Amino acid sequence: MITDPDKLTGAVKKLAKEEGFDLVGISSAEPLTQAGQRLRRAVQIGCTAGMSYLQRNPAQRARPQALFPWARSIICVGLNYHFVPLSTTKNHCRLLISRYALGRDYHLVLAEKLQLFKDKLPRTIGREFRSRVAVDTLALMEKPLAQRAGVGWGGKNSLVINPEYGSWIFLGELLSDLDLTFDEPIENQCGNCRACIDACPTGALSELGLLDARKCLSYLTTEHKGNIPPQVFGKTSKKNVCIYGCDICQEVCPFNRDTPQTKEQQFHPRAETLDLNIEQLRSLTEPRFKKLFSDTPLARLSYQQFRRNLQSLT
């Protein structure tokens, strides 16, 4: 049984890399005080739009131990999902669907990989331990946790940016009662760059990395339940067209240039969806839509929302 915190941490990280995670860092389970304050401010000024789950007790979301009092450390992992830039291809869906949604749903992929990692870890460290897998499914502030764990820093595009992988990373966590050595945060390297802020066609971003979901194309086309304000799509151009998600702020980020291609085949685009054009998408029946996008992030979108997004482009 490994008892030394440094050796234990080394064994944990080694196994995480062997299980295919590109990034791994360790955070404490202590409160995320500043992140909690920012969230409360965002709720107060309405930037969380219709995301009621963020508005319910935001202070508690910044306290992992409020959910799991036994938690002592949080193993934060990152998985690269970048593939050959779609702007270099002739595929139609590069203009219609955010690249993170062209492959298998990352919630499923990361949850499965984290569960395997969790199941193997007791044999690696020589003891059982208490733990819980999380992939954007619990009331946790996973981006601030990843930042505190040294996975990356908080960019002005509101995403976690890593020096090697940019912001093309999916995040996941394994909460544990293990006594591990905590990592140091990475210094923010955005500097005076405003590429993402200036490129956002609806003005949803700010210098402080605050995202106004009321103006965000990604939120409006994925989570928003009502009609999309016509003035929002009116600010976009044909080259910025999207019916699910938005990659504009990532495409222009300097740290997203020349990033390595993902090793995870499940994140690669499905051939049957990549070549669809907007006319073909408009002709999809509900059964065909559900079959075509099963196990992808679009499966969380209702057919009515899908049709709404298509109609908003006309």
Arithmetic mean of pLDDT, 285-289: 96
Residues 124 and 171 in one domain: yes
Segment among 57-66, 133-142, 212-221, 267-276 with least mean pLDDT: 267-276
| Active-site entry in 6, 119, 136, 179 | 136
CA 60, 26, 33: angle at the middle one, nearest 5?
30
End of a domain among 176, 205, 232?
176
End of a domain among 111, 142, 176?
176
The reported pLDDT for the residue numbered 88 is: 44
Residues 158 and 54 in one domain: yes
The reported pLDDT for the residue numbered 86 is: 52
Contact 282/310 with Cβ under 8 angstroms? yes
CA distance 306 to 314: 14
Question: Phi/psi of residue 42, each to 5°?
Answer: -60, -40
End of a domain among 176, 210, 233?
176
The reported pLDDT for the residue numbered 237 is: 52
Segment among 17-26, 170-179, 194-203, 275-284 with least mean pLDDT: 275-284
Q: pLDDT for 128-178, tens place per residue?
A: 999 999 999 888 999 999 999 999 999 999 999 999 999 999 999 999 999
Q: How many domains does one find in the chain? A: 2
Residues 30 and 161 in one domain: yes
Is-catalytic flag, 212? no
Residue 11 confidence (pLDDT) above 70: yes
Task: Say how many C-beta atoms besides its own lie within 10 A of residue 197's C-beta.
Answer: 17
User: Which tokens belong to 301?
Assistant: 């979108």
CA distance 171 to 165: 12
Residues 59 and 151 in one domain: yes
Contact 107/140 with Cβ under 8 angstroms? no
Could you tell me whether strands 131-134 and 169-176 are parallel, antiparallel, or unpaired per DSSP bridges?
Answer: antiparallel
Residues 267 and 149 in one domain: no
With respect to residue 89, please indicate whether it lies within any of the assigned structural domains.
no
Per the confidence metrics, is the pTM higher than 0.85? yes
Segment among 14-23, 107-116, 240-249, 263-272 with least mean pLDDT: 240-249
With respect to residue 282, please indicate whether it lies within any of the assigned structural domains.
yes
Residue 250 confidence (pLDDT) above 90: yes
Q: pLDDT for 44-83, tens place per residue?
A: 999 999 998 888 878 788 999 999 999 999 999 999 999 8
Domain span at residue 76 reads 5-84+100-176
Residues 162 and 213 in one domain: no
Arithmetic mean of pLDDT, 105-119: 97
With respect to residue 185, please indicate whether it lies within any of the assigned structural domains.
no
Residues 211 and 269 in one domain: yes
